[in-house]
Amino acid sequence: MINTMECAVDAQSLISISLRKIHNSRTQRGGIKLHKNLLVSYVLRNARQVYMNEKYAEIYRMQQYEEVMTVCNEIQELNPLDLVEDCEEQTADCCGSANESASLCGALLPVSHQAPSVQHLQPSSACSVPLALQSEEVCKAPEPSFYRSCCAEAYPVSNCDFSPVNSMHCNKTTVLDLDTHVVTTVENGYLHQDCCASLQQCCQGAQSPAKKRKLDFGYYVSEIEEVPDFTPCKRAKFEDSSYASTEPLDTSNISNLISIFGSGFSGLVSRQADLEQALNGQFCSKQALASLGAWTRAIVAF
């Protein structure tokens, strides 16, 4: 078990730092340093293990929470008017702008319970406090602070930004399922779903980060299956979220990680000519995508 207490940065930041080191090494003078890149890949693997464990723990908690919420919603069907009033109060407190906040919040409620005022979508909205939170309070469900108001940065930008500094201010991971067009955000370890339309706008508006996302995605999708402490119910939940299963791999073997970079890692030791091609991130990301096969594609971004 990796002891993370002594580390000043979290696993997610370490992952982005490590990927950046590997990417930079391709353009560094003196050629690829095999030894250094090998050591960086070990840090990457360790950080991934910790991150995945934390993420699955949160998803499991959220899953339990959702089950409770479903029960609460059924109870609330009896008093729809009370629900709308509470929503407007709470969202005003949260973000100071009922319209702005309600757009994303609306996505979380079952459709039948959404008030007309919350239909308008605001892609630039930063607040994603869900209306479900209000129901939760009415239900007196456990952990009312489970969902927090998000960071002040504009929603698309924060997810597209790769610098570790930003990722430390706003620890968000966004998952877009290209098949169902459902966007899921893991923020500070907490999972909630955002509206799909806003993310589509985000993707259109930011092309180069999207390329980077492919790189990260290839990395993440392959590793999903490796977490050894995955309980059967968690696995079922995640397969619903459209991660296809792959053959089981030894977590201590970094070969799977390297295969994500495809010939990108072999390219680390190849001749100069190949390095030129590898220098643009496209090469690596194409390889990562090419190795996916029949997997359902999901994009994970920092």
| Interatomic CA distance for residues 99 and 88, integer angstroms | 9
Q: How far is the CB of 265 from another protein (least distance, A)?
A: 6
Is 38 among the residues that bind another protein (CB under 8 A)?
yes
Q: How far is the CB of 297 from another protein (least distance, A)?
A: 22
The region of 105-113, 175-183, 198-206, 265-273 touching another protein under the rule CB under 8 A is 265-273
The token duo for 278 is 């590898």
The region of 11-19, 101-109, 172-180, 199-207 touching another protein under the rule CB under 8 A is 11-19
Is 121 among the residues that bind another protein (CB under 8 A)?
no
For residues 135 and 83, the answer to whether their CB atoms sit within 8 Å is: yes
Q: What is the dihedral of CA 159, 164, 169, 175, to 10 degrees?
A: 30
Q: How far is the CB of 154 from another protein (least distance, A)?
A: 27
Closer to another protein by CB, 8 or 81: give it.
8
| Interatomic CA distance for residues 251 and 225, integer angstroms | 10
The residues, any chain, with a CB within 8 Å of residue 83's CB and separated by 6 or more, are 76, 113, 131, 134, 135, 138
| Interatomic CA distance for residues 80 and 167, integer angstroms | 39
Q: Which residues pair with 192 in a beta bridge?
A: 185
Closer to another protein by CB, 119 or 253: give it.
253
Is 6 among the residues that bind another protein (CB under 8 A)?
yes
Q: How many residues bind another protein (CB under 8 A)?
A: 35
Q: Which residues pair with 293 in a beta bridge?
A: none
Q: How far is the CB of 28 from another protein (least distance, A)?
A: 11
Is 27 among the residues that bind another protein (CB under 8 A)?
no
The token duo for 128 is 């994603």
| Interatomic CA distance for residues 54 and 47, integer angstroms | 11
Is 163 among the residues that bind another protein (CB under 8 A)?
no
Among 4, 63, 149, 193, binds another protein (CB under 8 A): 4
Query: If residue 73 lies in a helix (H) or strand (E), which one and from where to where?
Result: helix 34-76
Is 253 among the residues that bind another protein (CB under 8 A)?
yes
Closer to another protein by CB, 207 or 252: give it.
252
Q: Where are the alpha helices (DSSP H) in 161-231?
A: 164-169, 196-205, 207-223
Q: How far is the CB of 262 from another protein (least distance, A)?
A: 9
The residues, any chain, with a CB within 8 Å of residue 86's CB and separated by 6 or more, are 134, 137, 138
Closer to another protein by CB, 15 or 206: give it.
15
Among 12, 14, 198, 217, binds another protein (CB under 8 A): 14
Site for another protein in 50-109 (CB under 8 A): 50
Q: How far is the CB of 192 from another protein (least distance, A)?
A: 28
Per-residue b/e over 149-179, b at no fewer than 16 CB within 10 Å?
A: bbbeeebbbbbbbbebebbeebbbbbbbbee
Amino acid at 210: A
Is 31 among the residues that bind another protein (CB under 8 A)?
yes
Q: Which residues are near another protein by CB under 8 A?
A: 1-4, 6-9, 11, 14, 17, 21, 29-31, 33-36, 38-39, 42-43, 46-47, 50, 253-255, 258-259, 265-266, 269, 272
